[in-house]
C-alpha cells in the first residue's frame, strides 16, 4: 500500500491523475470516483479492484462524469484491473435502467449482474494424468495398471476420476502409478463447457399455423432489431416448437438466445426436448448452481461460448455479448416477480433488455397476463396465436361440481362425482390427477374444546399441520413446532383437530378410496429438487403411477401422455382475499392444470369442485372462453385506472415496533402526492400484516398511464424522515395486493 501511495504522490505532482467512476456492487446511493494510477489501462466496463474503507472491493468502470468538485486528496487509487471480459455497454445501461425503474440503488442491481464476485475469477485450469514421457524400467505392470496405460495410450491427458472409471480401477491405483513414475500430472485442455446446439438439426414438421408463426418469429429475429411478440395458444398447441425456431434463427445469426422459465427445477422435460431438437444441452442458470458451475457458466456466457442459456429470472443479468432473442415462457407466471432485494418483474425487464440489445423478445403463454394481452391489442406487441392442440387432441371438457349439491361425505374432501370419475379413469387403465394448491395435511388446526386456532408467533398466518413430518409449520417464515399435546390456550388434552385439506390429507383419503392405486404426491416437500422432479415425471410417463396428487408443481408444462382426468379439489381457493388479480390468476392456474389432461389420443376431462359454479372464473373455465373473461376483467379495471390501464406502486412500511410502523405510515400518508390523475390509497395493513415479526403497513400510489410513478415516489420519499427501525420498501408494479 505504502509503495503505491508514494508512486501516485509523485505522479500527482506533475499532473493530476485521470479519474474514473466506479460502480460497486453494494446498495450505495451512487458510483464512487477513483484515480487511475499511471501504467494502468482501464476500459469502460472493466472490472476493477478498488479500496473501500479498509477493504478491497471489485466494481465496474462505469459511465457518466466524475465529480470535478471532489478534491484530489479525497480520492484513492484503483488497485488493479481484473482479467475478465468487461461489462458490455448494453448490460451497463440495463443495470442503470432497472435501478431507475425500480428505485433501487444501482449497485444493488449491479450485484445481480456480477452474480457473485467469485464469478469473475478465471476458472482454474484443471489438472489430470498422462502417460509418463520416460517411465522407469523394471516397474511391475499389474493388469490394473495395464488398463490405465491402455486408456492413456493416445497420449492425451485425462481427468483422474474419469480415468479411474474408464480403466475400472480405484483412484489409489493412479496414485501408486504416479509414485512409481508410470504416469505424470498434466493440465487438461480447456474444453468448451457447452457444446454448440445445432440449429439446422431437423425438428418436427410444423403444422401450417405453427410454420406461419415460426416464420414470423424468425423474421423478427433476422431483422436484428427490437420487437416484442406475444405467442399464445392453448396448452399443447405446439408453442414450444414454434419458439425453438426463433432460437434456431438467432443461432444461425451467430447470436445468443436466452429462455426464461418460471421454475427451472421443474423443467426436466423441457430440457430433454431441447436436447432432442438441438442435439446439445443449453447452459443452465439458477440459484442452486455450485459456485464453480456458476463461475464457468458466467465466463462462457461472457465469452460467447454459451449459445443458449435457460434460466430463472436472474439470467437476465448475465453478460451476453450478443443476444439475439429472449423467450419468456409462461409469461403470466408470478414466479417471474422478484419480491426481495431489488423488486422487479423479469418479464417486463426482459422486454427492456431485448430493447437495449436490439433483440427480439417472445412472450409465451396459453393464458397471457392482462398486461401482455393489452399490449398485443394496442399493437405495442405483435401477436401470434395457435388455435388448436397438436395432433388433433381435443381440449379437455371442463365441468364444475357444485359442492352445495354434491357435498363430500363428512370429514372427506372428494365429492361423489369426482370419486366416480377417478374410479372410472383408473378402471380404464388411465392416469388421474388431483390438484390442491396447499402443502401439508391441514391448513389450520383448532382446539375442539375452546375454539382456539394455532397461529404463527411471527406472522399473521395459521400454522399448517404436516402430519408426515409430525409438526406444525408456518409457510411464510418457516417457523416449526411440534403438534401440541394439549391446547396452549385452555389446556385441554388431545383436543386439537385439523381443519380443511392439504395434499397429505387428500392422499390419506385417496389411499382409502383406491387402495390398489399407485399414488404419487408432487409438492415442494416431496419433490425437493430438479432430480426428484425429473424422476417423478419419468415415473408418470412410464405409467408407474396411477394417481397423482399435487400442488401447483403439477400445473407446470408437463406432458403426461396417459393422463386423462384432472380433479381440482378446491377451485375457489385462490379467489378469497382482496387481490386485484385473484380472478385472473385463478383462471390462469386452473387452465394450466386442466391443460395436463388429454394431451394425446384419449380425450381429457376436468372436474372443478366449487361452491360458486356461477362465478365468472368457473364459467370461463367451463366454457373455455378465456378471451371473454379477460375482456370482462379489462372492463372492470379500465374505469378505475387499475393496471394495465394505469400505473401502480406500493410502499411497504415495516418495523418490529408496531407503533413506529404506524407512525411512519401515517407520516407518509400525510405527505402523499396528489393532483390530477394521481391517487394514494392507505395506509392500511399490508396483506400479511405481520411477517417474520415485522408489522407491515401499505400505501398504494395509483396514477394514470401517462404519469410515471418514479419521480412522484422519489419526491414523496424525500419528504418523510423515517426512523432507523422502520424500513420502507418500494414495489413498482406490485403483483400480489
Ligand atoms: P405448448 O408449448 O403449446 O403447450 P408443445 O410445444 O409442448 O405445446 O406441444 C405439445 C406436444 O405436441 C409436445 O409433445 C410436442 O412435442 C408435440 N408437438 C407440437 N408440435 C408438433 C409438430 N409439429 N410435430 C410433432 N409433434 C409436435
Ligand atoms: Zn410465520
What DSSP state is assigned to residue 158?
Answer: B
The CA angle 728-731-732, to the nearest 5 degrees, is 135
The CA angle 359-364-367, to the nearest 5 degrees, is 150
Confirm or reject: Cβ of 390 under 6 Å from ligand 1.
yes
CA-to-CA distance for 406 and 408, rounded, in angstroms?
7
Confirm or reject: Cβ of 233 under 6 Å from ligand 1.
yes
Q: Which ligand minimizes its atom distance to the CA of 384?
A: 1
CA-to-CA distance for 510 and 425, rounded, in angstroms?
14
Nearest Cα residue to 111 out of 321, 344, 310: 344
Any known ligand binding at 447?
Answer: yes
Q: Which ligand minimizes its atom distance to the CA of 479?
A: 2
Confirm or reject: Cβ of 331 under 6 Å from ligand 1.
no
| Centroid of ligand 1 to alpha carbon of 1 (angstroms) | 62
Q: Which ligand minimizes its atom distance to the CA of 457?
A: 2
| Centroid of ligand 1 to alpha carbon of 242 (angstroms) | 9
Mutate which of 202, 205, 236 to test ligand 1's pocket (most atoms within 8 Å of Cβ)?
236
Q: Which string of DSSP letters, residue by residue, matches 664-675?
A: HHHHHHHT---S
What DSSP state is assigned to residue 226?
Answer: -
Nearest Cα residue to 718 out of 679, 667, 661, 683: 667
Burial of residue 14, with CB atoms counted within 10 A of its CB: 0-12 exposed, 13-18 middle, 19 or more buried: exposed
Phi, psi values for residue 269, rounded to 5°: -65, -40
| Centroid of ligand 1 to alpha carbon of 518 (angstroms) | 28
Confirm or reject: Cβ of 210 under 6 Å from ligand 1.
yes
CA-to-CA distance for 397 and 603, rounded, in angstroms?
8
| Centroid of ligand 2 to alpha carbon of 480 (angstroms) | 9
C-alpha cell at 467: 402430519
C-alpha cell at 365: 403463454
The pLDDT score that the predictor gives to residue 737 is: 59
CA-to-CA distance for 501 and 434, rounded, in angstroms?
12
C-alpha cell at 208: 401450417
Mutate which of 241, 244, 591, 592 to test ligand 1's pocket (most atoms within 8 Å of Cβ)?
241
Secondary structure of residue 529 in the 3-state scheme: coil
* Closest approach atom of ligand 1 to CA 240: 6
| Centroid of ligand 2 to alpha carbon of 439 (angstroms) | 15
- What is the complex's ipTM, to 2 decimals? 0.97
CA-to-CA distance for 331 and 266, rounded, in angstroms?
16
| Centroid of ligand 2 to alpha carbon of 325 (angstroms) | 41
CA-to-CA distance for 4 and 661, rounded, in angstroms?
49
Length of the chain: 737
* Closest approach atom of ligand 1 to CA 235: 4
Confirm or reject: Cβ of 598 under 6 Å from ligand 1.
no
Please identify every residue whose CB atom is under 5 Å from ligand 2, which is an ion: 456, 458-459, 474, 476-477, 479
Mark out the alpha helices in 253-309 (DSSP H runs). Answer: 268-278, 291-302
Confirm or reject: Cβ of 239 under 6 Å from ligand 1.
yes
The CA angle 129-301-343, to the nearest 5 degrees, is 130
Run means of pLDDT, 10 residues per run, the chain, 737 residues:
38 70 93 93 94 93 91 91 92 97 96 72 71 86 92 86 89 91 82 83 92 97 97 91 97 97 86 94 90 87 93 95 97 92 96 97 96 96 90 86 96 97 97 96 93 93 92 92 92 92 96 97 86 90 96 86 95 85 93 88 93 95 92 93 94 96 97 94 91 95 95 96 95 84
Phi, psi values for residue 474, rounded to 5°: -95, 125
Mutate which of 202, 230, 390 to test ligand 1's pocket (most atoms within 8 Å of Cβ)?
390
Helix (H) or strand (E) holding 212: helix 208-222
Q: How many Cα atoms occupy the beta-carbon half-sphere of 235 within 13 Å?
A: 26
Any known ligand binding at 8?
Answer: no
CA-to-CA distance for 257 and 360, rounded, in angstroms?
10
What DSSP state is assigned to residue 655?
Answer: E
E-only strand ranges, 460-604 = 464-466, 471-473, 480-482, 496-499, 519-522, 547-550, 563-568
Confirm or reject: Cβ of 367 under 6 Å from ligand 1.
no
Q: What region, left, alpha or beta, does residue 367 occupy, with left being phi > 0 and alpha being psi -120 to 50 degrees? A: beta
* Closest approach atom of ligand 1 to CA 241: 6
CA-to-CA distance for 578 and 23, rounded, in angstroms?
41
Confirm or reject: Cβ of 357 under 6 Å from ligand 1.
no
Confirm or reject: Cβ of 235 under 6 Å from ligand 1.
yes
Mark out the alpha helices in 458-543 (DSSP H runs). Answer: 503-513, 530-541
What DSSP state is assigned to residue 486?
Answer: B
Distance between the two ends of the chain, CA-based, in angstroms?
53
C-alpha cell at 5: 501511495
**Pairing mode of beta strands 694-704, 678-691:** antiparallel
Nearest Cα residue to atom 15 of ligand 1: 238
CA-to-CA distance for 31 and 35, rounded, in angstroms?
13
Secondary structure of residue 239 in the 3-state scheme: helix
CA dihedral of 447, 452, 454, 459, whole degrees rounded to 10: 170
C-alpha cell at 301: 456466457
CA-to-CA distance for 655 and 662, rounded, in angstroms?
9
Any known ligand binding at 456?
Answer: yes
What DSSP state is assigned to residue 318?
Answer: S
Secondary structure of residue 476 in the 3-state scheme: coil
Asked whether 339 and 201 are in contact (CB, 8 A), the reply is no
Any known ligand binding at 361?
Answer: no
What DSSP state is assigned to residue 314?
Answer: G
Q: How many helices (H) and strands (E) does the chain have?
A: 20, 31
Asked whether 688 and 461 are in contact (CB, 8 A), the reply is yes
Q: Which string of DSSP letters, residue by residue, matches 607-646?
A: EEEES-TTSHHHHHHHHT-HHHHHHHHHHHHTTTT-TTSE
| Centroid of ligand 1 to alpha carbon of 581 (angstroms) | 30
Nearest Cα residue to 60 out of 76, 37, 78, 75: 78
Q: What is the 3-state secondary structure (H, E, C) of 62-85?
A: CCCCCCCCCCHHHCCECCEECCCC
What DSSP state is assigned to residue 223?
Answer: T
Confirm or reject: Cβ of 496 under 6 Å from ligand 1.
no
Q: Which string of DSSP letters, residue by residue, matches 173-187?
A: HHHHHHHTTSEEEEE
What DSSP state is assigned to residue 54?
Answer: T
Amino acid at each position: 500500500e505504502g509503495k503505491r501511495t508514494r508512486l501516485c504522490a509523485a505522479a500527482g505532482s506533475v499532473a493530476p491523475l485521470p479519474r474514473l467512476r466506479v460502480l460497486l456492487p453494494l446498495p450505495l446511493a451512487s458510483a464512487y470516483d477513483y484515480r487511475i494510477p499511471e501504467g494502468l489501462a482501464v476500459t469502460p466496463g472493466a472490472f476493477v479492484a478498488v479500496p473501500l474503507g479498509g477493504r478491497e472491493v471489485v466494481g465496474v468502470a462505469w459511465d457518466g462524469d466524475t465529480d470535478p468538485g471532489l478534491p484530489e486528496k479525497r480520492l484513492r487509487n484503483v488497485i488493479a484491473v481484473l482479467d475478465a471480459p468487461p461489462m458490455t455497454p448494453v448490460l451497463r445501461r440495463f443495470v442503470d435502467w432497472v435501478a431507475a425503474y425500480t428505485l433501487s440503488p444501482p449497485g444493488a442491481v449491479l450485484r445481480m449482474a456480477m452474480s457473485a464476485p467469485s464469478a469473475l475469477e478465471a476458472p482454474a485450469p484443471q489438472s489430470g494424468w498422462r502417460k509418463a514421457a520416460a517411465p522407469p524400467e523394471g516397474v511391475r505392470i499389474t493388469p490394473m495398471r495395464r488398463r490405465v496405460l491402455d486408456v492413456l495410450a493416445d497420449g492425451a491427458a485425462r481427468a483422474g476420476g474419469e480415468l479411474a472409471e474408464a480403466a475400472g480401477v480405484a483412484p489409489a491405483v493412479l496414485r501408486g502409478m504416479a509414485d512409481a513414475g508410470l504416469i505424470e500430472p498434466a493440465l487438461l485442455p480447456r474444453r468448451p463447457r457447452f457444446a454448440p446446439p445445432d440449429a439446422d438439426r431437423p425438428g418436427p414438421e410444423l403444422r401450417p399455423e405453427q410454420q406461419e408463426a415460426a416464420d414470423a418469429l424468425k423474421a423478427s429475429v433476422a431483422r436484428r432489431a427490437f420487437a416484442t411478440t406475444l405467442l399464445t395458444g392453448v396448452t399443447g398447441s405446439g408453442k414450444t416448437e414454434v419458439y425453438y425456431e426463433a432460437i434456431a434463427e438467432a443461432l444461425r445469426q451467430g447470436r445468443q438466445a436466452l429462455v426464461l422459465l418460471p421454475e427451472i427445477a421443474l423443467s426436466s422435460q423441457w430440457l430433454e426436448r431441447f436436447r432432442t431438437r438441438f442435439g446439445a444441452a443449453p447452459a443452465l442458470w439458477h440459484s442452486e448452481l455450485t459456485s464453480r458451475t456458476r463461475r464457468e457458466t458466467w465466463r462462457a456466457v461472457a465469452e460467447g461460448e454459451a449459445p443458449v442459456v435457460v434460466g430463472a429470472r436472474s439470467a437476465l443479468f448475465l453478460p451476453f455479448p450478443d443476444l439475439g432473442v429472449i423467450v419468456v415462457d409462461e409469461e403470466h407466471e408470478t414466479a417471474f416477480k422478484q419480491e426481495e432485494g431489488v423488486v422487479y418483474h423479469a418479464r417486463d425487464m426482459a422486454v427492456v433488455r431485448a430493447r437495449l440489445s436490439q433483440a427480439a423478445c417472445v412472450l409465451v403463454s396459453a393464458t397471457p397476463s392482462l398486461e401482455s394481452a393489452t399490449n398485443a391489442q394496442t399493437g405495442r406487441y405483435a401477436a401470434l396465436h395457435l388455435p388448436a392442440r397438436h395432433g388433433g387432441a381435443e381440449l379437455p371438457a371442463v365441468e364444475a361440481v357444485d359442492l352445495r349439491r354434491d357435498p363430500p361425505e363428512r370429514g372427506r374432501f372428494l365429492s361423489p362425482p369426482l370419486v366416480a370419475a377417478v374410479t372410472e379413469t383408473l378402471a380404464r387403465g388411465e392416469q388421474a390427477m388431483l390438484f390442491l394448491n396447499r402443502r401439508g395435511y391441514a391448513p389450520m388446526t383448532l382446539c375442539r374444546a375452546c375454539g382456539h386456532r394455532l397461529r404463527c408467533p411471527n406472522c399473521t398466518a395459521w400454522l399448517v399441520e404436516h402430519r408426515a413430518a409430525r409438526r406444525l409449520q408456518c409457510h411464510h417464515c418457516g417457523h416449526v413446532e411440534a403438534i401440541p399435546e394439549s391446547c396452549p390456550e385452555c389446556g385441554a388434552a388431545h383436543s386439537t383437530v385439523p381443519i380443511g385439506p392439504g395434499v397429505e390429507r387428500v392422499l390419506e383419503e385417496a389411499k382409502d378410496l383406491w387402495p390398489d392405486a399407485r399414488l404419487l404426491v408432487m409438492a415442494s416437500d416431496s419433490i425437493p429438487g430438479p432430480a426428484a422432479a425429473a424422476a417423478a415425471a419419468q415415473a408418470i410417463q412410464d405409467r408407474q403411477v396411477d394417481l397423482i396428487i399435487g400442488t401447483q408443481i403439477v400445473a407446470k408444462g408437463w406432458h403426461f401422455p396417459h393422463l386423462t382426468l384432472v380433479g381440482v379439489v378446491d377451485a375457489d381457493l385462490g379467489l378469497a382475499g382482496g387481490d386485484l388479480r385473484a380472478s385472473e390468476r385463478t383462471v390462469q392456474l386452473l387452465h394450466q392444470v386442466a391443460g395436463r389432461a388429454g394431451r394425446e389420443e384419449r380425450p381429457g376431462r376436468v372436474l372443478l369442485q366449487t361452491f360458486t359454479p356461477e362465478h365468472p372464473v368457473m364459467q370461463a373455465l367451463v366454457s373455455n372462453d378465456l378471451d371473454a373473461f379477460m375482456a370482462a376483467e379489462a372492463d372492470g379495471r379500465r374505469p378505475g385506472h387499475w393496471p394495465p390501464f394505469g400505473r401502480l406502486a406500493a410502499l411497504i412500511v415495516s418495523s418490529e415496533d408496531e407503533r413506529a410502523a404506524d407512525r411512519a405510515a401515517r407520516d407518509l400518508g400525510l405527505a402523499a402526492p396528489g393532483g390530477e390523475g394521481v391517487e394514494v390509497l392507505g395506509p392500511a395493513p399490508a396483506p400479511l400484516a405481520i411477517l417474520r415479526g415485522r408489522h407491515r403497513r401499505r400505501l398504494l400510489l395509483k396514477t394514470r398511464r401517462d404519469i410515471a410513478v418514479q419521480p412522484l415516489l422519489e419526491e414523496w420519499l424525500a419528504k418523510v424522515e423515517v426512523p432507523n427501525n422502520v424500513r420502507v420498501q418500494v414495489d413498482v408494479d406490485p403483483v400480489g395486493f
